[in-house]
């Protein structure tokens, strides 16, 4: 990857102490966009996507959006094995963006 994805570029420019929170905001924003939620609506971090009304198709839409935002390829199983925002952010920080997230 010769050019960083916009979100990763922004992430890289932040102090290390702010990167986890920024990553979380990216993930939440993608889920909220797919559900057509307003920016000020709270998104439950610890509830399963399916209990929030997501279908497999919608989860794949989020996966595609996150791949574009983060400039990476995510395994389809990642979103099913990490079925909450909290677990997905943890996975992304530990496995995908480990060199950027403290």
Q: 22 and 11 in contact (C-beta within 8 Å)?
A: yes
pLDDT tens track for 6-58: 788 888 899 988 999 999 999 999 998 988 877 777 888 889 988 888 898 99
Q: Is the pLDDT of residue 77 over 60?
A: yes
Specify the pLDDT at position 2: 42
**For 20-57, b where at least 16 C-beta lie within 10 A, e where not — what string?**
bebbbebbbbbbbebeeeeeeeeeeeeeebeeeebeee
Residue 3 scores a pLDDT above 90 = no
Calculate the alpha carbon distances from 49 to 1, 21, 77 in Å.
30, 20, 14
For the whole model, what pTM was predicted?
0.86
Nearest to 76 by CA among 59, 93, 100: 59
pLDDT score of 1: 42
DSSP structural state of residue 93: I
Answer yes or no: is pLDDT of 64 > 50. Answer: yes
């Amino acid at each position: 990857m010769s050019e960083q994805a916009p979100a990763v570029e922004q992430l890289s420019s932040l102090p290390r102490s702010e990167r986890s929170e920024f990553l979380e905001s990216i993930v939440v924003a993608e889920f909220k966009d797919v559900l057509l939620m307003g920016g000020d609506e709270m998104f439950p971090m610890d509830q399963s996507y399916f209990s929030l009304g997501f279908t497999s198709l919608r989860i794949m839409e989020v996966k595609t959006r996150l791949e574009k935002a983060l400039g990476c390829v995510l395994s389809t199983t990642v979103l099913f094995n990490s079925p909450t925002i909290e677990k997905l952010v943890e996975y992304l920080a530990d496995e995908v963006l480990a060199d950027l997230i403290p």
